Structures are given as C-alpha cells and as structure tokens.
Amino acid sequence: MCLKGIPPSRHSPSDMKAICGIFLIVAASARAAEPEGSEAIRKAIASFNDAHERATVLARDADLSPLDRFAGQEVSQVYFEATAIRLVTPDVAFVDAMACQFGSLIMKRTVPAVFVLKREGGAWRISVMRIAARGY
C-alpha cells in the first residue's frame, strides 16, 4: 500500500544493515583466509623494495629476475606488492605479486610477478622472484 507523497521503499533500513554486515564479514574473512605468517611475508617483500634492506631478506641461494631491464631515465625503481599468499608447506610460501613502476612518460606500468619464500631460522627469506616478460 502506498500513501500519497510517500514513495514505497523496496528495502527497509534493517535490510540495508544486513547487506552491509554481509560485506564486512566477507571482507574480514578474505583477510583471515591468508595463512599464518602472511604479515611477515608481506614485510619481507616490502623490505625487498628498499635497495638498502634487500640483502637482509634474500635466501643464501636466491634466484632473482634481473631488475636492470627496468632501469631508465625518468622512471622509478620497480616496487612489489603481494596480492595473494599461499603456503606450500609450513616453511615455503608462494606469493602472487604486482610489480609497479612509475614515470613521467609511462605514468604507471604494472606487470605480474611471483615470489617463492622459505623460512630460514624463523624468518621469511626470498628464494625465487620472477617478473612477467610483457614487452620487455
């Protein structure tokens, strides 16, 4: 029934609260679905982004894609950000990441990258890093 001047509502305020609650639960569970230690893994990749700290997060036998192919005038270094973390074993993690570079002509260049980290002496170390070859 519709009273004159009051448009019918398709959703009550309690319906909207329930929908918002569902979104919050889904967002929280997505973060909770990450394996234990994922924050330490993200920190290791963030440290890798700092050239002065890079050696502190590399495994002894690290195998890395060369980063010099991204060097050039008016472009930043390559920055990595983890997008998904999966534990292969309790001491080995596979990380999907994005490699981003910024510059006045390229604006922002983003390509996929992968990391394999292993736990050495209780700390996560980068063992393998590969960047997609897209046009480079």
82 assigned to some structural domain: yes
pLDDT score at 3: 53
136 assigned to some structural domain: no
Q: Looking at residue 75, which CATH number applies to its domain? A: 3.10.450.50
2 assigned to some structural domain: no
**What is the per-residue pLDDT across 36-94, written as a single tens digit (0 to 9) for each?**
779 999 999 999 999 999 999 999 999 999 988 777 788 899 999 999 999 999 999 99
Domain residues for 97?
A: 13-131
89 assigned to some structural domain: yes
**What is the per-residue pLDDT across 82-108, written as a single tens digit (0 to 9) for each?**
999 999 999 999 999 999 989 887 788
Grouping H, G, I as helix, E, B as strand and the rest as coil, residue 28 is helix
Domain count, the chain: 1
pTM, two decimals, is 0.70
